[in-house]
């Protein structure tokens, strides 16, 4: 089954304690992305990756890091989490279709609370 898998689904942590949210896709997609979703703000892109070892900042990259060492994995790293990073996080993957067609497939989400 084609899917994007995020772990963990729920996480409660404290300020300053480094954490990693993993994301894996089994569709051999080149493109992967991380979003955060906050009430009234919709989905905002944090980082994206066009392919292995190619990453770039999205709209809200501050406080986050990513890596793309393998095509299937795209972990999101919070080196020193702060309460304003409490949010619902989504990983997505896609392939580049003809004419810029880009249907992104989303994971089920990770709800993070930073105390």
Partner 1 sequence: GESVGLHLPTLSVQEGDNSIINCAYSNSASDYFIWYKQESGKGPQFIIDIRSNMDKRQGQRVTVLLNKTVKHLSLQIAATQPGDSAVYFCAEIPPLTDSWGKLQFGAGTQVVVTP
- 34-56 CB burial, b ≥16 within 10 A, e <16: bbbeeeeeeeebbbbbeeeeebe
- Rule CB under 8 A: say whether 100 interacts with partner 1: yes
Exactly one of 77, 86, 109, 113 binds partner 1 (CB under 8 A); that residue is: 109
Question: What string of DSSP letters covers 44-81?
Answer: EEEEEEEETTEEEE-S--TT-EE--SSSSB--EEESS-
Please say whether the beta carbons of 66 and 47 come within 8 A: yes
Size of the site for partner 1 (CB under 8 A): 29
Binding-residue pattern over the window 51 to 80 for partner 1, x denoting contact by CB under 8 A:
-----x-x----------------------
| Shortest Å distance, C-beta 58 to partner 1 | 7
Convert residues 9-48 into a mask of x (bound to partner 1 by CB under 8 A) and - (unbound): ----------------------x-x-x----xxxxxx--x
Q: What's the distance, CA 51 to chain centroid?
A: 14
Where on the chain is the footprint of partner 1 (CB under 8 A)? Answer: 4, 31, 33, 35, 40-45, 48, 50, 56, 58, 90, 92, 94, 96, 99-109
């Amino acid at each position: 089954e084609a899917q994007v898998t995020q772990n963990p689904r729920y996480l409660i942590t404290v300020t300053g304690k480094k954490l990693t949210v993993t994301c894996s896709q089994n569709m051999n997609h080149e493109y992967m992305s991380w979003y955060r979703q906050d009430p009234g703000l919709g989905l905002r892109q944090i980082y994206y990756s066009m392919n292995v070892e190619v990453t770039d900042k999205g709209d809200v990259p501050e406080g986050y890091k990513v890596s793309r060492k393998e095509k299937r994995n795209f972990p999101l790293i919070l080196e020193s989490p702060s309460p304003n990073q409490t949010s619902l996080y989504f990983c997505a993957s896609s392939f580049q279709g003809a004419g810029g067609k880009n249907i992104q497939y989303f994971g089920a989400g990770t709800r993070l609370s930073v105390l």
